[in-house]
Structure 1
Amino acid sequence: MKNKALIVDYWSDYNRGDAMMQVAILQLVDQWPSVVALDSGINEYKEFSKQLDESKAIGPIEFTPSPKLSLYFRKSGKLSNLANKLIMVANVLVFHFIMLMWKLRIKFLIPNGARKLLGEISASEVIIWNGRNFRGNKKLFEFFEFFDLCTCAIASIYMKKKVYALGVSVWEPKSVAGSWLLRKIFSRCERVYAREDVSLQLLEKNIMSGSKEKLKYLPDLSFFYMKKNIAEESDLRDSSIFTIGVVPKDPVKRNGISLDNYSKFVSNLAAEVAGSIGNGRKVRFKFINQAVLENEPNDEAIELIGKKLSSLGEVIGPKSNPSLEDLSIAYRECDFVISSRMHGCILSSYLGRPFIGIPYDRGAKWGILERLGDCVLLPMEEIEKKQHPTSQLIEKSLRYAPRAEMDREADEIVSIVNGITGKD
Structure 2
Amino acid sequence: MKITKRTRRDVVALAALCTIALAMSGCARGGAAEAEEGEVTASPGITDTTITFGTTSPLSGSAAGVGNCAADGAIAYFESRNADGGITFGDGKTRNVEFKAYDDGYDPQRALANFQQMVSDGVFGTALSLGTPTNRAFRDAAIAAEVPQVLVQTGDPLFSDRAESPWQLGLLPIYQQEGEAFGELLAATPGEHRVAILYQNDDFGLGYVEGFKLGIEGAENIEVVKEIGYEATATEVNAQITDLASTDADVFFNAMSSLAPLVIGSLQQAHTLGWSPSLFLPSTSSSPALLEPSGVADSFAGIYSTASSLSAASPAFQDSEEGQRFLDALHTYTAQTDVPGFPQCVWSWIGASILEEAFTKMTEPTRENFMEALRSVSGFSAPFLLDGGLIDATHEDRPAMSDVVVMEFNGAGFGPADSIS
Question: TM-score w.r.t. structure 2 length?
Answer: 0.32
Point out the structure with the larger strand share.
2
TM-score in terms of structure 1 length:
0.32
